[in-house]
Structure 1
Amino acid sequence: MAVDARIAVLPAGQQAVEIREVTLDVVGPYEVVVRQKAFGVCHSQLDRIYDPSRTESMLLGHESIGTVVAVGDQVRHVVPGDEVLTTWIPRTPLDGRPPEPARIAFPDGDLARTHNTFTWGTHAVVDEQYVVKTPEDTPLDLGSIIGCALMTGAGAVMNSAEVRAGQSVAVWGAGGVGLCAIAGAAILGASPVVAVDVDDDKLKLAEQFGATDVVNAKKTDPVAAIRALTPHDDGTRGVDYAFDCTGIGANIPVSLASVRPGVRGAGIRGGADVLVGIPRVPFQLDSMDLLNGEKSLLGCVGGSCDPVRDFETFVEWTRDGRFDPSALVTDRFALDELNNAVEALHEGRVRGRAVVELEG
């Protein structure tokens, strides 16, 4: 089945995407062609765009909602006409077949690749491992950001840390992923839930998503502020869990310092700092804070999520009003405005999540 598509390509040596026309007429045995309805613009894609070491053209994006228009002959879990969610975490990673990274050959001979999947365009050709059937009553806004922002932020709280009601949480970085972590912590009954950022507008939005307290790290010592908010009966101060969504290596020892220490001889271990944002450069820690406080540093990829299981949970949160995806989508763009969306994100002008809408 031939499908005419417009695909965003990041050419080698450039920092602006080009929208190119291509006919998709060959589907591999495990591939799915998805006609996009909306997709998110994730901060992690900026690392690809501004990577000076990149030597080949790339396809970008990894969260979307759309409709299947064609499938390979080995695809069994979706058929043309199904509404689906695209993500970058494999649906069944233990089935013995690693998913194939997507690639598109264009008429001019350029071959564009991706590390896993792509979503920036009217259509995407993705390995069936990265496609999940859309749960019933999934709104467009939720579908556009569930495959990365919500999965990564809320999943870190729900899966990686397994936060329980009454435990204290600090979220460092109140962008799209951080807001989802804040929402997840609030939904799970954490208290207090402290949002830390350097932008008052983002902190105001964090309160809408369930932050009980906000700290502007430009205006006050954030560690001291968090400790003041989190006294414990054992005499310690600090949060049970910090979620560092900044991706800034220099911030990690600071977020670790906001975590409560353990109590020697009492069998009480310290809290944990969860790395949600991706630090792109090596970082240093205060090893004595980690050791003497009996604290933990946890890595987290994609919120430790199982897409099939967890996407249904996130949709339930939306059905019953606990999560409002339309409040998270603060900036909306058309496909031809994609570079404007990237620029706004790069300059810090996107308070929540930027989304490109192709159809309602």
Structure 2
Amino acid sequence: MAVQAKIAILPPGRRELDLRDVTLDALESHEVVVRQKAFGVCHSQLDRINATGRTESMVLGHESIGTVVAVGDRVGYVEPGDEVITTWISREGRVPVPPRVILPDGDVARTHNTFTWGSHAVADEQYVVKIPPGISDDLGAIIGCAVMTGAGAVLNSAGVQAGQSVAVWGAGGVGLCSIAAASIVGARRVIAVDVDDDKLKLAQQFGATEVLNARKADAVAGIRALTAHNGVDFSFDCTGVGKNVPSSLASVRPGVRGTGRRGGIAVLVGIPREPFELDSMDLIKGEKGLIGCEGGSCDPERDFATFVRWSLDGRFDPSALVTDRYRLDEINIAVDDLHHGRVRGRAIIELPA
């Protein structure tokens, strides 16, 4: 079945996307075509756009909600008409061959795993998750990356428990999801750190008990002063800024040698865009931990169901997280706004029904 689509293409050597009309008619056996309802605009895609030395056209994006309109001949998980979320973490661990888009001029646009920036997406069935009725487009557009990464880091990577203390560095879309998850599981103290007062106000709406502006004061000292053991149990760096990682580690409590009380754990959530150095003595003498997580260590089918329940029962409000909305023909505006820090929470592109 041939599907006519409008896809955002990133040509080689450029940082501005072109909207191109294409025909999607050469599906691999396990691929599906999803007609998009809404999709998210993520910081990790800015890294692709700003990368130097690209020699091929690219298609971007990895979180969306939509309806399956075509399937390959060996797809067994979904069928046309199913409502799905598209994500970038495989449901069963298999790593499929990335899809490609053949353009009318014969050029081929490629992706690293899947793509969502367009009226339609092509994805291996491993990257789509069936959803229950009643889910909002706002949640569906961002659950496949922002919610999964931020909330999953709290639930899965760290396993935060009720009564523990948490600091979240970076109150953007992913950080707000970490803050919300920490609040939902009952963390006693949830401290948000950012350099933007508007983002910190939004962090309080999502459950932050205290906020610190790192541009105005020493955030590490502030966190230590707010906690009983000279630091939090868990610190989540959601900034993607390398120089913040040592601060995140410094903000967790030290352990007490010989008592069995180990230090707190810093969780690296955002992908650092430059090298960073750690204070090895802080790590060793404090008996602290530094761990990484990919996609919030999530199992998409299991964890998406949890996030949907949070939304349906009112514990998590995706419409408050989606602070900026655009049309498909405004995608370059959305990218520019995100790049320059004008997006407070999460930006999405909404498609007509």
Pairwise TM-score range, normalised by the shorter structure: over 0.9
Amino acid at match of 1:237: N
Aligned to 2:167: 170
1:7 corresponds to: 7
| Cα distance in 2, alignment partners of residues 260 and 353 from structure 1 | 31
Percentage of pairs with the same residue: 72
- Aligned equivalent of 1:312: 305
> Which residue among 223, 227, 237 is the counterpart of 1:230?
227
Aligned to 1:108: 105
Taking the aligned partners of 2:68 and 2:245, their CA distance within structure 1 comes to 41
Q: Which residue in the other structure is 2:258 paired with? A: 265
Counterpart residue number, 1:349: 342
Match of 2:70 in 1: 70
Q: Deviations over 1:34-89 (max 9, x none)?
A: 00000000011100001113221111000000000011111111000000000000
Report the alpha carbon displacement of residue 98 of structure 1 after superposing the two structures with TM. Answer: 2.6
- The runs of 5 or more residues in structure 1 that have no matched partner are none
* Cα shift at 1:134: 1.2
- Say whether the 8 Å CA contact 1:137–1:315 is kept in structure 2: no
SS in 1 for 2:275: coil
Amino acid at match of 1:168: S
1:245 equivalent to 2:242? Answer no
Structure 1 residue 349: deviation in Å? 0.3
Where does residue 133 of structure 1 map in the other structure? 130
Q: Which letter does structure 2 place at the counterpart of 1:16? A: E
Among 326, 348, 351, which residue is 1:333 paired with? 326
Query: Residue 132 of structure 1 aligns to a residue in which SS?
Result: strand
Q: For each residue in 1:110-158, what CA deviation from the matched residue of structure 2 results, as whole angstroms up to 9, or x when unmatched?
A: 1111110100000011111101101232111000000000000000000
Q: Deviations over 1:93-123 (max 9, x none)?
A: 1xxx531112111011211111101000000
Amino acid at match of 1:173: G
Match of 2:352, SS? Answer: coil
- CA deviation map 1:309-330 (0-9, x unaligned): 0000000000110000000000
One-letter code aligned to 1:78: V
TM-score normalised by L of structure 2:
0.99
| Equivalent residue for 1:220, pick from 217, 222, 243 | 217
What amino acid is the match of 1:282? P
SS in 1 for 2:101: strand
Deviations 1:328-352 (A, max 9, x none): 0000000000000000000000000
The partner residue of 1:207 within 204, 208, 220 is: 204
User: Which shifted more, 132-141 or 122-131?
Assistant: 132-141
SS in 1 for 2:291: strand
1:147 aligned onto 2:140:
no
> Match for 1:86: what amino acid?
T
> Relative to structure 2, which stretch is displaced further, 138-147 or 48-57?
48-57
2:88 — aligned with what? Answer: 88
**TM superposition shift of 1:282:** 2.1
Give 4+ residue runs of structure 1 displaced > 6 Å after superposition.
none
Q: Which amino acid is 1:144 matched to?
A: A
Deviations 1:153-198 (A, max 9, x none): 0000000000000000000000000000000000010120000000
Q: Distance in 1 between matches of 2:95 and 2:301?
A: 17
Instruction: Find the aligned partners of 1:338 and 1:8 in 2 and give their Cα distance.
Output: 8
In the aligned structure 2, how far is the partner of 1:270 from the partner of 1:98?
36
Q: Is the 8 Å Cα contact of residues 70 and 79 (structure 1) preserved in structure 2?
A: yes
**Which whole-Å deviations, capped at 9, do the CAs of 1:279-335 have from their partners, x for residues lacking one?**
122211000000000000000100000000000000000011000000000000000
Q: Residue 24 of structure 2 aligns with which residue?
A: 24
Distance, in Å, in 2 between the alignment partners of 1:187 and 1:44 is 26
Q: Aligned match of 2:352 in 346, 351, 359?
A: 359
User: Which residue of structure 2 lines up, in the alignment, with residue 61 of structure 1?
Assistant: 61
Q: Give the Cα–Cα distance (whole angstroms) in 2 for the partners of residues 191 and 136 of structure 1.
A: 33
Taking the aligned partners of 2:177 and 2:164, their CA distance within structure 1 comes to 17
2: CA distance, partners of 1:100 / 1:137: 32
The number of residue pairs the alignment matches comes to 353
Name the residue aligned to 2:189: 192
Q: Which of 278, 282, 296 is 2:275 aligned to?
A: 282
Between the aligned partners of 1:347 and 1:240, the Cα distance in structure 2 is: 32
RMSD between aligned residues: 0.8
Aligned to 2:35: 35
Q: Does structure 1 residue 292 correspond to structure 2 residue 285?
A: yes
Q: Distance in 1 between matches of 2:184 and 2:53?
A: 41
Q: CA deviation at 1:264?
A: 1.1
CA distance in 2, matches of 1:277, 1:315: 23
Distance 1:141 1:125 in 2: 21
Task: Tell me how far apart the structure 2 counterparts of residues 46 and 78 of structure 1 sit (CA, whole Å).
Answer: 31
